[in-house]
Amino acid sequence: MEKFFENLLYSARWLLAPLYLGLSLALIALTVKFFQEIWHLFPMLFSLKETDLILAILSLIDMSLVGGLLIMVMLSGYENFVSQIDIDEGREKLGWLGKVDSGTLKTKVAASIVAISSIHLLKIFMNADKVDTDKMMWYVIIHLTFVASAFIMGYLDKINRH
């Protein structure tokens, strides 16, 4: 009975596989949105102010960082919690695949969130004249919270490795 229960629990990890597949659908949606933003950007390229162009580019960078985060979570999460990914011989394999454990994945996700938050904060600062001072203060506080959290998670991961 115990062996059956343990095997059942171990097999339950496959319930995560559809979630990672769902993240790939979210990546498709993000890609469509990325190209939609570019499509809207080009017709007004010559009439845009420099700051508006920079804000649009920062939005594209933001989306690409989120896309990279999705890939990292999908592949590392699948490999850590579901099954090892077997890449055919001769096919290109991502250098970090198979080397990112769950602790490292959490640290990388936290660092990605800090990067995304930094870009968002930069966009806010570029529109500082349109943003209420109290809101800007809260944006900075939230960003610093992300930074502190990422630092603490990285530090704890370093301690746990030793």
CA distances for 101 relative to 62, 132, 137, angstroms: 25, 42, 36
pLDDT digits (tens, 9 = 90+) for 31-65: 999 999 999 999 998 998 888 888 889 889 989 98
pLDDT of residue 30: 96
Which segments in the chain show pLDDT lower than 50?
A: none
pLDDT of residue 32: 97
pLDDT of residue 142: 93
Which pTM value belongs to this model? 0.78
